[in-house]
Amino acid sequence: MGVGIVGLGLIGGSIAYDLAAMGTPALWGLSRSLQTCGQAQELGVVTTAATEPQALTHWHETTLIIIATPLDQIVPSLARLLPFLDPQTVITDVGSVKAPIVAEALTLWSRFVGSHPMAGTHESGFAAARPGMFAHAPCVVTGDRAPAEAVELVERFWRSLNMDLVVCSPDAHDQAVAWISHLPVFVSAGLLLSCLREPNAVVQNLSKHLASSGFRDTSRVGGGNPELGCLIAAYNRAALLRSLDAYAEVIQELRGAIARGDQSQILESLQTTQQQRSRYCSPPLR
Ligand code: NAP
């Protein structure tokens, strides 16, 4: 099947690497950058690459298009393709928030199926793309409102990259990633911002000097890409607020137990977290 990729960054470029290795015919890429188009073609990662859809000639043989642009550019990217699309072409995306994107995309193209391949690194751009990034990682497909054969095509596609499929609604996806991906960004950012508010310069400098592996682990996602955090806050606001409110409540409960010197409450809470953590991390992290 012919495949198109819009946005040859970390995710789009890595998909292209895997598809090229599988010998996908008529594999095209759309990039804003001439340099990326040239590199992707030279490396044999795509058959053809262009900066404008009108420069491509593969529309009638394109079965599937994957949109791999930033969250706020997924629907605009789809809109730019509309004049060229073959009516049978199925479109998916890779955005890390699903409900608002799927709802808007379906108003433009009925054969749109939302996806979220849950693999990546902290890097970005085509230079960071690499083959084999998706193997054995989960991929969410949220196709409950698209035609069944379009959903099946998208599922087959992600399976061909050796991904483990998870089928759920866009809303369930967004609340789940709010808990395990988006809340951690803001908890971690909150940790860093709180430490930076320490008014005593000696203590603040000392804490920076003493910070070690525990602080590195808990602050990592809060020290990531600010633009990405802003997009998450904008696109997954309701689910993120729900998780943040629950988190604030738990912190207040823990604070109360510490203030009261309620050792049994503190112990019970920490025993629960010690026992339950491994259920979120497979294989269990130490
Ligand atoms: P990235 O490396 O920055 O790639 C995004 C690509 O989108 C850019 O390389 C660029 O490609 C294109 N682009 C950027 N701004 C654009 C604009 N205004 N108009 C059109 N195209 C634009 O980011 P990424 O990490 O691959 O993320 C892409 C998508 O994957 C996002 O929706 C994100 O939610 C999702 N995602 C990311 C990860 C992760 O770990 N990073 C994991 C799962 C899903 P060209 O230079 O080729 O135009």
- 29 and 11 in contact (C-beta within 8 Å)? no
What is the domain-level CATH number for residue 45?
3.40.50.720
Is the beta carbon of 96 within 6 A of some atom in ligand 1? Answer: yes
| Residue 7 DSSP class | -
Most distant pair of Cα atoms in the chain: their distance: 71
Measured CA to CA, the distance from residue 50 to residue 31 in angstroms comes to 6
Residue recorded with tokens 């709010």? 178
Same structural domain, 164 and 230: no
- 12 and 66 in contact (C-beta within 8 Å)? yes
Where the chain has pLDDT below 50, the residues are 284-286
Is the beta carbon of 125 within 6 A of some atom in ligand 1? Answer: yes
Same structural domain, 162 and 178: no
Is the beta carbon of 181 within 6 A of some atom in ligand 1? Answer: no
> What count of residues does the chain have?
286
> Which amino acid is located at 16 in the chain?
A
Residue 285 counted as domain residue: no
Same structural domain, 113 and 216: no
Query: CA distances (Å), 154 to each of 23, 95, 279, in order?
Result: 18, 14, 29
Measured CA to CA, the distance from residue 204 to residue 207 in angstroms comes to 5
Same structural domain, 208 and 158: no
Pocket probe mutation, ligand 1, options 6, 10, 71, max atoms within 8 Å of Cβ: 10
Q: How far is the CA of 70 from the centre of ligand 1 (A)?
A: 4
Same structural domain, 24 and 155: yes
Is the beta carbon of 124 within 6 A of some atom in ligand 1? Answer: yes
What local confidence, expressed as pLDDT, does residue 283 receive?
A: 62
Same structural domain, 204 and 140: no
Residue 177 counted as domain residue: yes
Q: How far is the CA of 68 from the centre of ligand 1 (A)?
A: 5
What local confidence, expressed as pLDDT, does residue 241 receive?
A: 98
Q: Residue 72 contacts by C-beta under 8 Å, 6 or more apart in sequence?
A: 231, 234, 235
Residue 163 counted as domain residue: yes
Pairing of β 112-117 and β 138-142: antiparallel
Residue 286 counted as domain residue: no
- Give the domain extent around 108: 3-168
Residue 191 counted as domain residue: yes
CA-only gyration radius of the chain, Å? 22
Structural domain tally of the chain? 2
Q: Which of 125, 150, 168 is the last residue before a domain boundary?
A: 168
Is the beta carbon of 14 within 6 A of some atom in ligand 1? Answer: no
Is the beta carbon of 117 within 6 A of some atom in ligand 1? Answer: yes
Same structural domain, 130 and 181: no
Over residues 53-75, the pLDDT tens digits come to 999 998 999 999 999 999 999 99
The dihedrals phi and psi of 67, each to the nearest 5 degrees, come to -95, 120
Measured CA to CA, the distance from residue 40 to residue 137 in angstroms comes to 24
What is the domain-level CATH number for residue 224?
1.10.3660.10
Residue 284 counted as domain residue: no
Q: pTM for the whole thing? A: 0.95
Among 97, 94, 57, 99, smallest CA distance to 77 is for 94
Q: Which of 140, 168, 196 is the last residue before a domain boundary?
A: 168
Residue 21 counted as domain residue: yes
Same structural domain, 125 and 202: no
Same structural domain, 27 and 123: yes
Residue recorded with tokens 């069944």? 148
Measured CA to CA, the distance from residue 216 to residue 27 in angstroms comes to 41
Same structural domain, 122 and 12: yes
Is the beta carbon of 95 within 6 A of some atom in ligand 1? Answer: yes
Q: Which of 114, 145, 168 is the last residue before a domain boundary?
A: 168
Same structural domain, 154 and 181: no
Same structural domain, 88 and 176: no
Q: How far is the CA of 278 from the centre of ligand 1 (A)?
A: 31
